[in-house]
């Protein structure tokens, strides 16, 4: 049982956005009664509210009254602290997914992620917020920094090509750059041996969520409440009401959406053994305008990577995350770790050294200047929700009538959540007996792949797994990476060793 800490490190995305909705409360007091309480104001909560609005906007029925309760400031969780990459797993998970779900199952999962690119483009264009939320489509890369990484990336690509053919609809989107000189030129990553390239997007996630919430607030059926942690949610009583207990009083509601990510198990103990914390870190680095041509990631092995994106003018900062060469020496500092109120030792300096050591032709300072001081949002930590079977839990919560969930996106929510939220929306409206019409924006897309469904069978099976054993295995694998040479150069040794 754990709630979000109330003094997390400051994130550049939140501080630089200066949003008027940051501490917003629609009303001084909470309403006594509503149709739907959405717990959590991140990407999941906001897109669920948005779809509830869109599905009911044009069909003459009364839209549901929504109350969104957020423990922190609005969008103060993972969505306000992430990497900004809308980067589908276009091929890289193919071996793992095809061995679990077969070639067609893996294909369905990839198609779902890729569908988020046009779905984002069309939604943002329809709402006229593309520029406001700094959205761009383009190409991204996985850069192999070692032979080990190159073999792994190429094998994933080749496996997919072998199963689906040269012209398969997902493989057509991906390409290999095998010549190291061409790979270095494309990726701008020094010493890159080769790269796999595919379509992706980038966005300012916090601005996106605040824009969507503004749209739903303007439509008039959302009551939004910052700094209101939910302590407990009851089962549905005989009259059909669920009681939501908050630090500011109780609310009764007909339905509850748990959009609480890593913290889902606080209100739904069934998820105790299913969703865990993972602590990540990022920094914002000042850079010349348009310096980074493509979003991307560097890979040394399956554990050690960095990823980055550059925000457009007037901000221009590079957001870089990972720092695994350094962190991997102490896996317990990030695996199942909730210390979002603390920086990692030595990580701000690691990120400041990164542009000059890793980017071809870096024209900025060395060490690089942060976009803000460390304590003001220049470097921050954030909590990902790590699902025990690597897939999120989406749907009506089994055995808890009136409760719906979308959580456990495992550090990779951007190309998964928009359409997952569109999947639970009709379930909620059917439950409330409100008629609806799916908007044209979702019509072309597959909403939810099989492994995402929060079925009773899946939950029961996973509850029986030995989560400690899974954790210890991961710690062991990460410590194996820590022994490799790329984790033992001057910048990667733990600071305690350097004293």
Ligand X SMILES: Cc1cc2nc3c(=O)[nH]c(=O)nc-3n(C[C@H](O)[C@H](O)[C@H](O)COP(=O)(O)OP(=O)(O)OC[C@H]3O[C@@H](n4cnc5c(N)ncnc54)[C@H](O)[C@@H]3O)c2cc1C
Where does this chain bind ligand X (CB under 6 A)? 3-4, 39-45, 69-72, 76-79, 81-85, 87, 229-230, 259-261, 263, 266-267, 280, 282, 321, 382-384, 407, 409, 411-415, 417
Least distance from ligand X to the Cβ atom of residue 180, Å:
26
Rg for the chain, CA atoms, rounded = 22
Of 254 and 308, nearer to ligand X (C-beta) is 308
Cβ neighbors of 470 (< 8 A, separation 6 or more) are 388
Least distance from ligand X to the Cβ atom of residue 483, Å:
25
Cβ neighbors of 18 (< 8 A, separation 6 or more) are none
DSSP 11: P
Q: Which tokens in the block code for residue 378?
A: 């220049």
SS (H, E, C) 47-88: HHHHHHHHHHCCCCCCCCCEEEECCCCCCCCHHHCCCCEECC
Tell me which residue of 282, 259, 284, 263 sits closest to 272, measured CA to CA: 263
Tell me which residue of 143, 84, 85, 82 sits closest to 358, measured CA to CA: 143
Helices first, then strands: H and E counts in the chain: 13, 17
**Cis status of the peptide bond prior to 260, with omega within 30 of 0:** no
Least distance from ligand X to the Cβ atom of residue 393, Å:
11
Least distance from ligand X to the Cβ atom of residue 44, Å:
4
Cβ neighbors of 20 (< 8 A, separation 6 or more) are none
Of 188 and 260, nearer to ligand X (C-beta) is 260
Of 355 and 392, nearer to ligand X (C-beta) is 392
Of 161 and 322, nearer to ligand X (C-beta) is 322
- Alpha helices of 248-372 — where are they, by DSSP H? 264-267, 324-327, 347-358
Alpha carbon distance 80, 9 (integer Å): 11
- Residue 30 CA: distances (Å) to CA of 20, 68, 215, 246, 303: 20, 10, 21, 10, 45
Least distance from ligand X to the Cβ atom of residue 233, Å:
9
Q: Contact at 8 Å (CB) between 183 and 192?
A: yes
Least distance from ligand X to the Cβ atom of residue 321, Å:
6
Of 34 and 193, nearer to ligand X (C-beta) is 34
Of 67 and 434, nearer to ligand X (C-beta) is 67
Least distance from ligand X to the Cβ atom of residue 480, Å:
23
Of 70 and 184, nearer to ligand X (C-beta) is 70
Least distance from ligand X to the Cβ atom of residue 121, Å:
16
Least distance from ligand X to the Cβ atom of residue 55, Å:
19
**b/e burial code for range 255-285 (CB count within 10 A of at least 16 → b):** bbbbbbbbbbbbbbebbebbbbbbbbbbbbb
- Alpha helices of 299-441 — where are they, by DSSP H? 324-327, 347-358, 417-432
Of 16 and 259, nearer to ligand X (C-beta) is 259
Least distance from ligand X to the Cβ atom of residue 175, Å:
22
Least distance from ligand X to the Cβ atom of residue 39, Å:
5
Of 69 and 195, nearer to ligand X (C-beta) is 69
Of 413 and 439, nearer to ligand X (C-beta) is 413
Tell me which residue of 394, 397, 67 sits closest to 228, measured CA to CA: 67
Of 184 and 371, nearer to ligand X (C-beta) is 371
Of 5 and 356, nearer to ligand X (C-beta) is 5
Least distance from ligand X to the Cβ atom of residue 478, Å:
17
Alpha carbon distance 306, 492 (integer Å): 13
Q: Contact at 8 Å (CB) between 87 and 414?
A: yes
Of 224 and 434, nearer to ligand X (C-beta) is 224
3-state secondary structure of 356: helix
Q: Which tokens in the block code for residue 50?
A: 């948005």
SS (H, E, C) 153-207: HHHHHHHHHHHHCCCCCCHHHCEEECCHHHHHHHHCECCCCEEEEEEEEECCHHH
Least distance from ligand X to the Cβ atom of residue 437, Å:
25
Alpha carbon distance 46, 38 (integer Å): 9
């Amino acid at each position: 049982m754990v709630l979000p800490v109330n003094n997390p490190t400051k994130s550049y995305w939140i501080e630089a956005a200066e949003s008027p909705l940051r501490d917003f409360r629609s009303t001084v007091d909470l309403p006594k009664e509503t149709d739907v309480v959405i717990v959590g104001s991140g990407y999941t909560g906001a897109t669920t509210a948005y779809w509830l609005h869109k599905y009911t906007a044009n069909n003459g029925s009364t839209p549901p009254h929504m109350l969104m309760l957020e423990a922190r400031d609005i969008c103060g969780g993972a969505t306000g602290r992430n990497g900004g990459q809308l980067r589908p797993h276009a091929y890289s998970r193919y071996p793992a997914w095809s061995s679990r779900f077969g070639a067609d199952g893996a294909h369905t999962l990839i198609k779902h992620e890729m569908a988020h690119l046009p779905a984002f483009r069309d939604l943002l264009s329809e709402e006229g917020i593309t520029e406001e939320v700094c959205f761009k489509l383009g190409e991204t890369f996985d850069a192999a920094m070692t032979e080990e990484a190159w073999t792994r990336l190429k094998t994933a690509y080749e496996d997919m090509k072998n199963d689906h053919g040269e012209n398969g609809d997902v493989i057509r989107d991906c390409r290999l750059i095998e010549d190291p000189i061409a790979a270095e030129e494309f990726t701008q990553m020094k010493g890159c041996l080769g790269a796999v390239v595919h379509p992706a997007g980038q966005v300012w996630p916090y601005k996106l969520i605040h824009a969507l919430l503004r749209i739903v607030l303007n439509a008039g059926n959302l009551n939004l409440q910052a700094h209101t942690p939910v302590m407990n949610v009851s089962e549905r009583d005989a009259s059909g009401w669920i009681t939501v207990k908050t630090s500011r009083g109780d609310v009764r509601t007909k339905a509850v959406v748990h959009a609480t990510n890593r913290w889902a198990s606080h209100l739904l103990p069934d998820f105790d053994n299913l969703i865990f914390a993972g602590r990540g870190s990022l920094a914002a680095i000042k850079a010349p305008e348009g310096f980074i041509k493509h979003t991307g990631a560097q890979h040394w092995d399956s554990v050690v990577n960095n990823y980055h994106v550059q925000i457009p003018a007037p901000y221009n900062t590079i957001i870089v995350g990972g720092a695994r060469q350094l962190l991997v020496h102490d896996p317990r500092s990030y695996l199942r770790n909730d210390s979002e109120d603390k920086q990692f030792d030595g990580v701000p300096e690691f990120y400041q050294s990164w542009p000059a050591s890793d980017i071809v032709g870096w024209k900025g300072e060395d060490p690089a200047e942060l976009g803000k001081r460390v304590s003001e949002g220049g470097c921050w930590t954030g909590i990902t929700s790590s699902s025990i079977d690597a897939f999120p839990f989406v749907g009506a919560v089994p055995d808890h009538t009136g409760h719906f969930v979308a959580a456990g996106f495992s550090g990779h929510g951007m190309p998964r959540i928009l359409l997952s939220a569109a999947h639970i929306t009709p379930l909620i409206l059917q439950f409330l007996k409100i008629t609806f019409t799916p908007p044209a924006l979702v019509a072309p897309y597959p909403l939810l792949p099989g492994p995402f469904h929060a079925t009773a069978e899946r939950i029961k099976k996973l509850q029986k797994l030995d989560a400690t054993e899974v954790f210890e295995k991961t710690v062991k694998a990460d410590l194996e990476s820590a022994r490799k040479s790329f984790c033992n150069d001057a910048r990667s040794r733990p600071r305690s060793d350097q004293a």
